[in-house]
Structure 1
């Protein structure tokens, strides 16, 4: 083999080596591009999940004008003495009709809320809040609250247990709304007060109500919150639910110890 042939053979070997090296470089570059695209997709998916969690909450009727925090979606985790397992919440609400306030005007009633933790007894004042009491009596008679969870507890600044939505805070209400009655001008709601929850709309009273388990001051802007009764027995039940705290350890959200309304019985008190 001549020297010229050897040099030609060497060039061919080098060209093959250069071609293989170029191919490896192209493959490495393609792999890096794929990795960048995959990482970008994962970032977009993560951002979507975060935004979905942040924006996924729904407005509810509230006491004090506050919106339940993210902890409101946390699952109940505690149990307290004397409580049986809470029933499954209803899946739908049957709309009802707003009753005539005259059915409760000037009258007083006793209501017994039977819960999975025991009975809470209320005195309802139809003289001071006839429309509110008429609505409460009507909803009780229609079994509107059967098996409905008390979906909100607040433990800082505002001390209330909020109940009355069969769907656990995300429901549409009983099919009607009405305005404010008998709201204190100074925003004072003593322990044992029974009052209506609402949105920022003063005419949004419906089926949700709250029980004050420690003296509380609520905003008066927008008209305050309708007081329509007091707790006369069973406050210890509310207090032990409050003592168990909020699910997830927050100050406003789902009670850690589940409590649900099983039924509500109302009788008129005769003079």
Structure 2
């Protein structure tokens, strides 16, 4: 019996790597991608898993249409059974203090690139009327993110897109699941220059736990999963609290210099 084929983006570290590792252990062949050279090491590690099949790695910039086309071409026409759209960028500090090039990179990666990838692979799946999609959104998408304004806005977009796409595909054999983690122990906060914030310095969720809950929800065909009890409470509160209040609360977590010393 032919192994199923999964594509995982942002898979060099963190949640993406853990999602890829679950796929290997569950019997999938893999194509993993990231814009970091560490993606090659990730692939080598995954090939050492006892149950590993084919594991291909692609070092590519998924913020560009060219990068998305490269990733699609790297599948070599093989039907993609599972797409895990996990690639994303964070960015801390006040909006007006942020470098505009970095702002654009967050939008190009999280919004434009993910949208292009979902459109391309989603159309392939629709032609076959088969497939599973997992989109890594965030509970950050429920909150106006003071000192993370563009990142939170990008996750609000992904959360919304995921639910809309799921509804549009309701009468097909394609499932769409939105994974909505909270703060997770990954390279995210270092790369986003947020180690001097309260949220950056506090204890965070285990990426392996987050990935497992996301994978299980996807395989069950569920619409979304918020990982961790604290995050479930936070997302429930965010649905009823005024946006202005949420923005004030977010400031306490994400403003530079607010880390405990």
Which of the pair is proportionally richer in helix?
2
Instruction: Give the TM-score taking structure 2 as reference length.
Output: 0.25
Instruction: Give the TM-score taking structure 1 as reference length.
Output: 0.25
Answer with 1 or 2: which has the greater Rg.
1
